[in-house]
Amino acid sequence: MRSLGFRGILIALAILGATVLAVAVLILKPALLAYIIGVFTPCAAVYIMEGSKRRFAWIGSAAMTLAAAGPVVLSGLLDHSRFIMGDIWAWGVPVAAGMAGTAVAVIVPAIGEMMTTREQKEQFAILEQRQTALIAEWGETIKDPLTPPG
């Protein structure tokens, strides 16, 4: 039998935790199911809109929403006097956290790519200056000058 490894153990614990939480919600307070569905609807929308095979935006959105909605659901299960469905903060914070997770997953790589592109253009300009200096010193030895990538 093959070992699960760290990733497999984490996935198994996540599935176990989600199952326990879902069963607790269904048994103790079924009204929270509407809250869970409502809060995670933006995550489902991001999943549908994201067309690539690597679904980083959906993962960021779901992780941040879960991190913000989990304590709300647990407090709703433990405190029977709390009415989560009418609490604007209970709705707003998880949705905003999910939007922040989506932004991190989409915007940060784009910014990194822009910075890399700028650095490559600067390096290419330095190479062109060096090429010009070498041509001036040694004479023309190549047929085609360098062309920038992309």
- What secondary structure does DSSP assign to 22-83, as a single string? HHHHHHH-TTHHHHHHHHHHHHHHHHHH--SSS-HHHHHHHHHHHHHHHHHHHHHHH-TT--
Q: How far apart are CA 94 and CA 119, in angstroms?
A: 37
Provide the pLDDT for residue 124.
Answer: 92
> In which residue ranges of the chain is pLDDT below 70?
1-3, 52, 140-146, 148-150
Q: Tell me: the pLDDT tens digits for 51-82? A: 767 777 888 888 888 888 888 888 888 888 88
Provide the pLDDT for residue 146.
Answer: 67
What are the residue ranges spanned by the domains of the chain? 11-101
**Residue 29: both structure tokens together:** 């307070």
CA distances from 20 to 15, 39, 57, 101, 103 (A): 9, 19, 26, 25, 30
Q: Find tokens 């929270």 and name the residue.
A: 32
Provide the pLDDT for residue 129.
Answer: 92
List Cβ neighbours of 92 (8 Å cut-off, separation of 6 or more). none
Q: What is the pTM of this model?
A: 0.61
Measuring CA to CA, which residue among 59, 70, 133, 141 is closest to residue 98? 59
